[in-house]
Amino acid sequence: MQLKRTLFFSLLFASLYNYSFWKKVIEAYGFSASSIAFLSSMALSLFLLFFILFQLTNFKFLAKPFLCLFTFFAALSAAFMDSYGYVININSFTNIMETDIREARDLINTSLILYFIFAALLPMIFILRTKFSYPKKKQLFKFFFIAFTLFFTNFAIFNKSYVGFFKNYKPLRQYVNPIQPIYAFSFYLKKKYFTQKYEFITLGEKTLTYPKGNKNKLIILAVGETARAANFSLNGYSKKTNAYLEKEKRLISFKQVFSCGTETSISLPCLFSYYGRKNFDLEKAKHTENLLDVLNKAQIRVSWRDNDSGNKGLAARVKQEDFNDALIEPFCNKEFGCHDEVLLNKLQNYVDEKKTDTLIVLHFKGNHGPAYFRRYPKEFIKFTPQCESEFLSNCTREQIINSYDNAILYTDYVLSKTIQFLKDQTKNYDVALLYISDHGESLGELGVYLHAMPYSIAPEFQRHVPMIFWSNNSFPISYDKLLQKQNENLTHDNIFHSVLGLFKINIPQYNKDLDFFN
């Protein structure tokens, strides 16, 4: 009986819970005489791998908890991977832990709930209610030895094919479920709770220089959410998603800008850090002063206005306001939160309180999916038919893209209103707006939706982000020289140094080569 149970669950995990893995493998190899043999070998290897794991845990007080835990992780991971093309990695768990309730609710739909009931809840109830029999030590060793021998014999026969697989298709390993998700979760716990404790690092404490200009500067740094460069008409997109900003003079759209990560929990802290993507470590960044801290020490007036998932600790030492639950009419809805225009509410009062050099961060909700249709008022339904459901499976790809584009159009409108606000301040300030998105989004290309894929295998749509700059005539930069850089390759790494450059702040960590205003 115990052998049948182990064989059944090994087959179940190697097939049903690994649908996304097999889909990607078949896409990579296709069907041919040579590939079918290797695919069969791979199926046997995965089956035997699970069989060995279940045999190693086939003991009283261990088998049921282990099988339940495995089933829970496998079903939950498969639900998201099969629905959105997700890959579950350490950054996924970081994102999950820092996601607010509204964002999480948008991801949960009827199909996911049904999937979880049938693929996780019912099997776990079956496991817990079934009386297990356990093998004797000799029998356990015999089955383990047979499976172990078959596994390595199979591997040896197709040795060259496996070497090619591990060398040329490394990303596919991240779809093996639930081994990859469990590994990612354990790595997340290790990094979160068992890694070294960092001492807090300050920047430019004794070496900061800041020459005061003839006129105060007011700069708004607008951080977008989930906007991808490909859907901005300023960058050549066929649909007029930038109908408002296209009317502005002295506006530059940088067309080749790439993000630090593919999810907010990584990209946002990295955007404000001086470490850059290659040297970025989330825990290290949390224990290091960021761009806002440096500006604050230079006596720049700094504030953070948030309508998204929080500032991830970036604004811990500066003024911060959260508008997610503001209930300010007509921008807010008690159930789904506020539209981004709320970030401009009473902004004039704040600016008038003290006339000095000022940086204001506006953190947009932008295009956060999958409920794109909730990110804009009804009057911005321009591209139709649109998807009016957070369940993307209920909509066609055309409807999903139309909803996404309507959200881009609304962001365009809010940015144009922000520019108008800045124009009204030119009596007292030189003004500028810098907008950049934290990461991009997949909209069904290659069957992938949303974002948060591992950076090494993420589609360009998740990494290629829009960046826009506007300033008034008297702002002390060379507009013509800046315009020449609109097609240069830039990244989030440039933001820390470029914003310091706008305020003429110099610290040892400032790199003029990364300052695109230099």
Q: What are the residues facing 360 on neighbouring strands?
A: 220, 303
Average pLDDT, the chain: 90
Task: Tell me the pLDDT tens digit for each residue of 295-315.
Answer: 999 999 999 999 998 899 999
Asked if residue 383 and residue 263 are part of one domain, the reply reads yes
Asked if residue 491 and residue 380 are part of one domain, the reply reads yes
Structure tokens, 210: 């800041």
Asked if residue 151 and residue 284 are part of one domain, the reply reads no
Measured from the Cβ of residue 141, the count of other Cβ atoms closer than 10 Å reads 12
What's the maximum distance between 2 C-alpha atoms anywhere in the chain?
Answer: 88
Asked if residue 267 and residue 182 are part of one domain, the reply reads no
From 193, 227, 261, the end of a domain falls on 193
Structure tokens, 204: 């430019």
Backbone angles phi and psi of 473, in degrees to 5:
-60, -35
Backbone angles phi and psi of 135, in degrees to 5:
-75, 155
* pLDDT > 70? residue 102: no
The residue that leads in pLDDT, 349 or 87, is 349
Residue range 89-118: mean pLDDT, rounded:
72
User: Is 211 among the domain residues?
Assistant: no
Task: Tell me the pLDDT tens digit for each residue of 241-251.
Answer: 999 999 999 99
Task: Tell me the pLDDT tens digit for each residue of 169-220.
Answer: 777 888 899 988 888 888 778 777 776 677 889 998 767 777 777 799 999 9
Cα–Cα dist 238/252, whole Å: 18
Measured from the Cβ of residue 406, the count of other Cβ atoms closer than 10 Å reads 26
Among the ranges given (48-52, 185-189, 267-271, 363-367), the one the predictor scored with the smallest mean pLDDT: 185-189
- C-alpha distances (whole Å) from 204 to each of 210, 291, 408 are 11, 11, 38
Asked if residue 257 and residue 140 are part of one domain, the reply reads no
- Listed in sequence order, the residues at least 6 apart from 76 whose beta carbon sits closer than 8 Å to its beta carbon are 116, 120, 181
Cα–Cα dist 217/475, whole Å: 8
Residue range 265-294: mean pLDDT, rounded:
94
* pLDDT > 70? residue 451: yes
From 161, 193, 225, the end of a domain falls on 193
Q: How many domains, in total, are found in the chain?
A: 2
Supply the CATH number for residue 334's domain.
3.40.720.10
Could you give the dihedral angle defined by the CA atoms of residues 154, 159, 160 and 161, in that order, rounded to the nearest 10 degrees? 40
pLDDT band at 92 (very low <50, low <70, confident <90, very high): confident
- Residue-number span of the structural domain to which 412 is assigned: 217-514
Asked if residue 258 and residue 165 are part of one domain, the reply reads no
Asked if residue 322 and residue 244 are part of one domain, the reply reads yes
Asked if residue 166 and residue 239 are part of one domain, the reply reads no
User: Is 367 among the domain residues?
Assistant: yes
pLDDT band at 98 (very low <50, low <70, confident <90, very high): low
pLDDT given at position 1: 66
pLDDT band at 93 (very low <50, low <70, confident <90, very high): confident
* pLDDT > 70? residue 99: no
The residue that leads in pLDDT, 357 or 113, is 357
Asked if residue 464 and residue 340 are part of one domain, the reply reads yes
pLDDT band at 480 (very low <50, low <70, confident <90, very high): very high
Task: Tell me the pLDDT tens digit for each residue of 388-417.
Answer: 987 787 899 999 999 999 999 999 999 999
Residue range 76-89: mean pLDDT, rounded:
81
| Residue type at 239 in one-letter notation | K
Asked if residue 229 and residue 117 are part of one domain, the reply reads no
3-state secondary structure 28-87: HHCCCHHHHHHHHHHHHHHHHHHHHHHHHCCCCCCHHHHHHHHHHHHHHHHHHHHHHCCC
User: Is 202 among the domain residues?
Assistant: no
Structure tokens, 499: 């914003």
Asked if residue 266 and residue 168 are part of one domain, the reply reads no
Task: Tell me the pLDDT tens digit for each residue of 52-63.
Answer: 999 989 888 899
pLDDT given at position 446: 82
pLDDT band at 155 (very low <50, low <70, confident <90, very high): confident
